[in-house]
Structure 1
Amino acid sequence: MGERLAKFPMEQNFKLTPIDGALLDDPTKYRRLVGRLIYLTVTRPNIVFSVRTLSQFMHEPRKPHWNAALRILRYIKGIPGQGLLFLASDNLELKAFCDFNWGGCRATRRLVTWYCVFLGNFIISWKSKKQDNGSRSSAEAEYRAMANTCLELTWLRYILQDLKVPQKAPTRLFCDNQAALYIATNPVLHE
């Protein structure tokens, strides 16, 4: 039975909402599947965003949510040997990028901050987080994203030091908001 494999875990701009589609008769199977996918994200970072999206609907899963979870399984089946490979000759400089998105969560329209961290040319950590409270300006939202990224970078530097991969220079953090950069570099503005 030729099952169709998926080339990526979720369609781009695919919108899942808490109200569209019929409720599942037995939500236990959805919760069990998503729980297993959450566990799998430890070794499969390429499915983190999709699984995080599905985990928001655990309390009342619907048919479109179930179909999206099955698509992730078809994607995983099609890429059994993916992983990260670090060569001894690679540049292992740590660097990070951060940003925010107004109304980035399609279900709640809340602000989402995100970051991604690279070791050389390889992404090793990333996170997107819905913020509980709103920001009054783009500078505040961007500064919040920078603060979260700095916490992750500090933790990663200690881990890399323990793994005998010391960082000889300060870690570069890339941000595209000039006001947030000014706030971050001016100690008078730190409260």
Structure 2
Amino acid sequence: MNDLGGLKYFLGIKVARSKQGIFLSQRKYVLNLLAETEMLDCKSADSPIVQNHHLAMHLNQVPTNKDRYQRLVGRLIYLSHTRPDTYAVSVVSQFMHSPSEAHMGMVERILRYLKSSPGRGIMFSKNDHCRIEGYIDADWAGNITDCQSISGYFTFVGGNLVNWQSKKQKVVALSSAEAEYRGMAK
């Protein structure tokens, strides 16, 4: 066995240690993704998705390159290991089987957002407590195609973000309270 020293990179994730804690980021991965898509010189976006986006499957949609779309969304899913802004990625991943130009435009907006903050990641700070805190939110009938709600949650242990997810609920909720309750129960 060889001692290779402290961990610096692991599967494209940079690990930086300091007195404050451990910082995980995928800056190089983001920059390589932007270079591959020729978006290093593009104008950056301030958010990964527009509010009230209403993305859906339409009968008259203009199809886009399915292989390219699936490859880009797959790379964005891998990027979500160190970035908690996963809602936009979960939205575009719903259209992997039949993407349109509008869906590809949303993927490009996510890439422009990544350009504005390529080094963003997760900091695990040293804290003197181990409290567990959880936060959840759900939108009622957020998906315009099937009226299903979308829930998102964050879990903190000792003040550090350790778990997050954004997912469409399996059942149609009849009210916003029911959507919130189902999200919390899940």
TM range (shorter): 0.5 to 0.7
Q: CA deviation at 1:25?
A: 4.5
- The answer to whether the 8 A contact 1:111-1:131 is kept is yes
Give a deviation string over 1:62-109, Cα, whole Å, max 9, x none. 111111101111111221211222332464421112344331223321
Using the aligned pairs only, state the percent identity: 39
- Aligned counterparts, 1:63-74, within 5 A: 63-74=101-112
CA distance in structure 2 between the aligned counterparts of 1:2 and 1:70, rounded to whole angstroms: 13
Compared CA separation, residues 2 and 77, structure 1 to 2 (3 A)? closer
Runs of 4 or more, structure 1, over 6 Å off, are 136-139
Compared CA separation, residues 58 and 126, structure 1 to 2 (3 A)? same
CA distance in structure 1 between the aligned counterparts of 2:137 and 2:120, rounded to whole angstroms: 27
Give a deviation string over 1:25-64, Cα, whole Å, max 9, x none. 4221111111111111112222x11111001111111111
Give the structure, 1 or 2, with the largest relative contact order (CA under 8 Å, sep 6 or more): 2
Compared CA separation, residues 24 and 41, structure 1 to 2 (3 A)? same
Q: Please name the residue that 2:55 is paired with.
A: 16
More helix per residue: 1
Question: Is there any run of 5+ residues in structure 2 with no aligned partner, and where?
Answer: 1-39
Q: Please name the residue that 1:107 is paired with.
A: 145
- Aligned counterparts, 1:47-62, within 5 A: 48-62=86-100
More strand per residue: 2
The secondary structure found in structure 2 opposite 1:52 is: helix
Matched, 1:35 2:38: no
* RMSD across aligned positions (CA): 2.7
Q: Please name the residue that 1:7 is paired with.
A: 46
Aligned residues: 147
Which of structures 1 and 2 has the bigger CA Rg?
Answer: 1
Q: Please name the residue that 1:26 is paired with.
A: 65
- The answer to whether the 8 A contact 1:116-1:123 is kept is yes
- Aligned counterparts, 1:1-191, within 5 A: 2-19=41-58, 22-46=61-85, 48-89=86-127, 91-135=129-173, 141-148=179-186
CA distance in structure 2 between the aligned counterparts of 1:136 and 1:16, rounded to whole angstroms: 22
TM-score of the pair, normalised by structure 2: 0.65
CA distance in structure 1 between the aligned counterparts of 2:176 and 2:114, rounded to whole angstroms: 37
Compared CA separation, residues 9 and 114, structure 1 to 2 (3 A)? closer
